[in-house]
Chains A and B, each alone.
Chain A
């Protein structure tokens, strides 16, 4: 039997009962569409999480204080007061491969300007903050090293804070903002990084870290030190160097008792990806169940078809069709159904992903690999679930098949 004949026979058999073929195909369509849509949503989420981690800077090692442990009670990571300006200076001086160091001390204050007021995070930062965290300035300038050293009372507003205090898009450079009853001169506005709600990077005010320590918080301890390595390769050596240096400076011998934690950004990205990876896998697994159900539908229909066409199979055998001719014909019917269903399913899946991303603002990514996978899987389902019915047809005894009523 030639391939073209096989295709013609298959096509005419499938189109013989259009409603039934269509409904059976629908199972595969829904299965493939949901797999594609779910994977797209999952991968989109993964992409957006890793983007937002990248937006805090690149090649970062972040040092945060460890847990405070008076006696047996732990107050939670980051609560200890262990990092000082001296640590940041030592890292800058003694660790090789370091591009920039930004000591940071954040605290929330009531902020007022021109009679309006808001409560927001004030980040005491080093001059290197912009480089380390990829912060861009929309208007004016960020403060310099000299301004940090001279404890200049200058502030850079985040765009959301600017909008809250002065109104959207207002030009505010040169105006004054009052933080915790101390006047600061506004010298710049940061560009929006995107984001909303809790810990919104746009709703912040940046002041020199020295000013934060001496005039606002009154505490010499830092909330974190962000270190940018010169390159990706330097990330781990820098992280290890910092750990060793700070343990020495803090007189700690046992790493388990250290009063700080140094994490590198690559690890954070990896951890987040593994979480979203599992999430994607879970979604795909749920969607696969509908694919399986669709496959069983195909098998059910093929078995019915074989029974209905018993006499035809008998006739085909009588006029010289071999077992493999019959088997291929029925297998081809199953594959045609699943493959066509897979194609429609891919389109539907892309459609669903597009609708989801535009309606709910969830970014989605339709990967070529998942489309190819869907086609592969749907053809595979055709083979797996078509095999048994095809074998049943091929094994029919022509004499009995011809007598079948």
Chain B
């Protein structure tokens, strides 16, 4: 459960105040698939950083699973990220010379998961993103872009987070592989009940979520439910 109450964020530099978020309030229930959409400069990156516990709001409250994390210290925020949030980035951010499996196991290092269990947990995460098993020992720079993003999704899943935060996950992919990635999110949401927040500037991408929050100039201007574009066709996973 995610609850934002009147969140603001103002950047200050040399007596210049730049308000980026001007009072954001919304609630996302567990198991929701929500897109946050807006043009560049609308404050969606800043909102994502706050949602992902990478940054703190200037004012307002952010309740994640009932805990107000707005005034957490840096190390406490690290704990929140480790236990509750899985990130998927536009640029994948995989360790290039490490294998697929090792990349997925990386968060388990910081969670101090027992070594014996790691491979099993990582394997389960990779399977649920549809990553073929014969690629698990490939180096992450030897696989295709679509596969890279699925490895990144598996990495986000591996700590069993309350929230998966995807920042323009299809931005570096062509539309076909982009659709496969979006399908992966839909399936994780419908079949595993994962809570997913998708940040994008493209309506076409946003429409794959069940609910869209439109952000403009630091405010939510529209909160819409709509007819979701569905792509769940399992056969597509091995298409690329």
* Chain A residues proximal to chain B, CB less than 8 Å: 1-2, 4-5, 9, 12, 16, 311-312, 314-323, 325, 398-399, 402
Contacts and interface: CB of A to CB of B under 8 A. Distances in A.
Contacts of A312: 93, 95
Interface in B75-122: 75, 78-79, 81-83, 87, 89, 91, 93, 95, 97-98, 106-107, 109-112, 115
A318 B97 contact: no
B54 A399 contact: yes
Contacts of B54: 317-318, 398-399
Contact of A317 (B78, B112, B115): B78
26 contacts: A5-B109, A12-B98, A16-B97, A311-B93, A315-B89, A316-B110, A318-B52, A318-B87, A319-B87, A319-B159, A320-B79, A320-B81, A320-B82, A320-B107, A320-B111, A320-B159, A321-B78, A322-B75, A322-B78, A322-B79, A322-B110, A323-B78, A325-B110, A399-B49, A399-B55, A402-B89
B83 A320 contact: yes
A191 to B, nearest CB: 68
Given A1-B112, A16-B97, A316 B78 contact: no
Top-10 shortest CB links A-B: A320-B82, A322-B78, A319-B107, A315-B93, A320-B110, A5-B109, A320-B81, A318-B87, A321-B110, A322-B75
A316 B49 CA distance: 15
Contacts of B75: 322-323
Contacts of A315: 89, 93, 95
Nearest to A4: B115
B74 interface: yes
Contacts of A323: 74-75, 78
Interface of B: 49, 52, 54-55, 74-75, 78-79, 81-83, 87, 89, 91, 93, 95, 97-98, 106-107, 109-112, 115, 155, 159
A402 B79 contact: no
B93 A402 contact: yes
B25 to A, nearest CB: 23
Among B82, B97, B110, B112, the most chain A Cβ lie within 10 Å of the Cβ of B110
Contacts, number: 62
Contacts of A4: 115
A2 B112 contact: yes
Given A315-B89, A315-B95, A318-B52, 15 more contacts: A12-B98, A16-B97, A311-B91, A317-B81, A318-B54, A319-B106, A319-B107, A319-B159, A320-B79, A320-B107, A322-B75, A323-B78, A398-B54, A399-B54, A402-B89
Nearest to A324: B75
Nearest to B110: A320
Contacts of A16: 97
A380 B109 CA distance: 27
A398 B81 CA distance: 12
Nearest to B52: A318
A319 B74 contact: no
A325 to B, nearest CB: 6
A283 B74 CA distance: 48
A337 to B, nearest CB: 19
B106 A316 contact: yes
A180 B31 CA distance: 118
A56 to B, nearest CB: 67
A71 B93 CA distance: 93
Contacts of B97: 16
Contacts of B74: 323
B77 to A, nearest CB: 9
B54 to A, nearest CB: 5
Contacts of A1: 109-110, 112
A320 B159 CA distance: 10
B78 to A, nearest CB: 4
A404 B22 CA distance: 27
B131 to A, nearest CB: 18
Contacts of A317: 54, 78, 81
Contacts of B55: 399
Contacts of B106: 316, 319
A312 B79 CA distance: 18
A323 B55 CA distance: 15
Among A1, A2, A5, A16, the most chain B Cβ lie within 10 Å of the Cβ of A5
A400 to B, nearest CB: 10
Contacts of A311: 91, 93
